[in-house]
Structure 1
Amino acid sequence: MKVFVQLAYGFGGKTWRESWKAGRILGLNEEQAYGYSRVASDDVKIVYSEDQHENLFQKLLRYSVRAIFGFDFVHAWRNRKQMLAADVVWTHTESQTLSVLLLFRILKPVHRPKILGQVVWLMDRWRKQPFWRRWFFRFLMQHLDLLTVHSVCNLEDGQRLFPNLWIEQVRFGIRADDMKPARKTCQGKKLKVLSLGNDEHRDWKTFCAAAKALPDVEFSIASSARAAFEASKNISNVTLVRAKDNVELIGLYSEADIVVVPLQSNRHASGITVVEEAIILGVPVISSDCGGLTDYFDSDSVLYVPTKNPKALAEAISAVRADPSGALQRTETAQERVKNTINSVQYARKHVELSKELLDA
């Protein structure tokens, strides 16, 4: 089975590999983006999209088309030759999914590869799209062979928006090869709470309000989002930090007693990457209860709090400090789930399984 993986510009096979080897990609990442290559074998050939070097005009053209359509069609067009040679095409977000669908509508190949197209933010942003773009997206999506989503909430959304599509949830997992032992935290004189991420659904206001309620606790935010800067202004026990490389990022996790994932209501499992990173690195997690995260890790693995509730978040932090043994047990339970079910290998294997079903249908 020949698989072509169409990813966003900047995530191409060569580009990503060079950045990964140079340590420029933060997080517990793979040598090839998202770990799809982990399932390469004699029976499954994996080929990644590549990034064409752009001059100013070419970049402007690609950005202009993306602004009009709402997805990066030019990047898909540049990868059409390798794509058409595949048996099945995998995508990672709706930008690539819609691009591939439009490409095949234009080219109308005699032997069209099957499309296993994934969406991430599409459902959350659907109502914000102009009516003509929603119509265009629906027109393209009706030709999709299989739609995949990360969240059980998005599974329900997709079934409502696209009732005639075959839709499957594929739980997103990251590299868990070098899992650290779960550790008993909250043993030092000063409690250290860390939060990370740039996703649009991070709730920095609630995080910082909880910090004000716990003046004896050190809070750190690793984010380049302006919302994080605005929320943390004039709060003495909240510090904005920046990890320049993976060594510094792992250091932030290692120094933390608790990792908090504060979220606004969403449907796409926002924050799941940070939740998984913290668990793999052995740190207890507190998260907002939204986006279908409890489908990944239940309350025996992660301590959940309601959204937009600083008091509940502050109480949860105090509860972990009061019972570090309980937090340790939750982390150990979560690590077992990562080992057995939620990791990049299982994520890629599910794609292979679904692809074989597509080709046999």
Structure 2
Amino acid sequence: MHVHVELPEELDVEAYRRRNARGEIPDHTPYGLHHMGDEGDVVTFRTPAGGPVAWVSRKVRNRLDGYEAVTAVTGAAQRRGADVLFCMDERTGMPALLSSPRRPVVSGIAWLERPDMISGWERRAAEAALRRAGAIFTQSPAMVPILREHWDVPPERVHGVGLGIDPAFYPEQPWSDRDPAGVTVTSVGDDRGRDHATLVASVLRVREQGLPAWLELATTLPVDLPPEAGVVHARRMNAAMRGLYARSSVVAIALRPNPQGSGLTVALEALASGRPVVATDNPGMDTYVEHGRTGLLVPPGDVEAMSRAIGDLLADPVRAAEMGAAGRKEVEQRFTSAHMAAELREIARGTL
């Protein structure tokens, strides 16, 4: 089987490999998709067009809420010889589905809302694209019934797939490397599902109750964090995240209610690093964070519950360390990029 991966225009797989070799980013290829070839299948990646085409693609993409319409057309020649087209999410997946009727297309769905929640043109395009899909997958269990029931995708073509990360890039951090005071809480995230206001309020509540909690938050979103309570890293941290995880005693992820799986990558990075997770209990989060064993799950928007969970783990480092160690084992056994790619490979084979 020859799988051709449709990458966004801004992703150059060769540049990605060089950055990985320098230790800047995880996995040898985006999402570790080269592992789809671990059993001998051929995996190729679309390369960016560059020049004027890239300029036009960027302009059109910005007007279409991120959908890669131009790239889907200009990259058609690179698909020759491929048995299956593979797209990690709908931004590349829907254009590929609409522009390549002769090959099966496997597309992930990450951010698609229910039909009644999106604009008319996007709903019509999604309906047409999903009808053509050889297979659809999602890494949030809560999205499976939405795709089947609200978008009428036949159940046999909708697959739940476990998210995976690179455990070598996110090694287990020694518990002794954390902040000597044992009060650092780490968080990261830029997507629309984040609820950093609840996170900050929770850390401030912990401080009010006598624990000098310190928040290190990596985000480019606007946040009101008092300087005495923490620091905001307003940039993409990449490899520097490993230092934040190492210093932390708890990784906390506050989220708005949503079914799309916001926060899952950070949760797995934290667990791989040997740190317990406190996270909003959105649908699907419990697939990745086991309450009471690898972390603690709390209701959305509940400052009291989140502050109590954070405070309990900061006050009990032995319990926190045990949760972190259990989380690392869970990632190694179930949630690596190689595990994810193996599931995706079988889905792709099923479309032939």
How do residues 276-315 of structure 1 correspond to structure 2 at under 5 angstroms?
276-299=268-291, 300-315=293-308
CA distance in structure 2 between the partners assigned to 1:12 and 1:244 by the alignment: 18
Instruction: From 96, 108, 115, give the equivalent of 1:118.
Output: 108
Q: 1:163: which partner in 2? A: 152
Structure 2 residues without counterparts, runs of 5 or longer: none
Q: 1:86: which partner in 2? A: 82
Give 1:43 deviation, angstroms.
2.8
CA distance in structure 1 between the partners assigned to 2:248 and 2:65 by the alignment: 42
Are the counterparts in 2 of residues 24 and 245 from structure 1 also a CA contact under 8 Å?
A: no
Give 1:235 deviation, angstroms.
5.7
Deviations 1:237-289 (A, max 9, x none): 13112567655321111111111111111111111111111111111211111
Q: 2:100: which partner in 1? A: 104
The residue identity in structure 1 corresponding to 2:265 is T
CA distance in structure 2 between the partners assigned to 1:186 and 1:41 by the alignment: 36
1:49 aligns with 2:39: no
The residue identity in structure 2 corresponding to 1:264 is R
Instruction: From 229, 247, 256, give the equivalent of 1:255.
Output: 247
Q: 1:142: which partner in 2? A: 131
Give 1:187 deviation, angstroms.
7.9
Instruction: From 223, 229, 237, give the equivalent of 1:237.
Output: 229
How many residues of Structure 1 are paired with residues of Structure 2 in the alignment?
A: 344
SS in 1 for 2:181: coil
Deviations 1:112-158 (A, max 9, x none): 2211111100136x544222331222022111111101111001111
Deviations 1:294-335 (A, max 9, x none): 012321222111110111111111110232222222222222
The residue identity in structure 2 corresponding to 1:71 is Y
Deviations 1:177-216 (A, max 9, x none): 3631663788833511111111111111101111221332
Give 1:236 deviation, angstroms.
2.9
Change in 2 beyond 3 A, CA 1:146/1:128: same
Give 1:61 deviation, angstroms.
5.0
The residue identity in structure 1 corresponding to 2:264 is I
CA distance in structure 2 between the partners assigned to 1:217 and 1:41 by the alignment: 44
The residue identity in structure 2 corresponding to 1:278 is A
Using the TM superposition, name which of 193-202 and 295-304 deviates more.
295-304
The residue identity in structure 2 corresponding to 1:21 is A
How do residues 60-75 of structure 1 correspond to structure 2 at under 5 angstroms?
60=56, 62-64=58-60, 67-68=63-64, 71-75=67-71
Q: 2:340: which partner in 1? A: 347
Are the counterparts in 2 of residues 15 and 50 from structure 1 also a CA contact under 8 Å?
A: no
In angstroms, what is the RMSD of aligned CA positions?
A: 2.4
Are the counterparts in 1 of residues 178 and 246 from structure 2 also a CA contact under 8 Å?
A: no
Structure 1 residues without counterparts, runs of 5 or longer: 106-111
CA distance in structure 1 between the partners assigned to 2:318 and 2:190 by the alignment: 31
Give 1:161 deviation, angstroms.
2.1
Are the counterparts in 1 of residues 98 and 128 from structure 2 also a CA contact under 8 Å?
A: no
SS in 2 for 1:351: helix
CA distance in structure 1 between the partners assigned to 2:39 and 2:117 by the alignment: 44
- Deviating beyond 4 angstroms after TM superposition, the runs of 4 or more aligned structure 1 residues are 184-187, 242-247
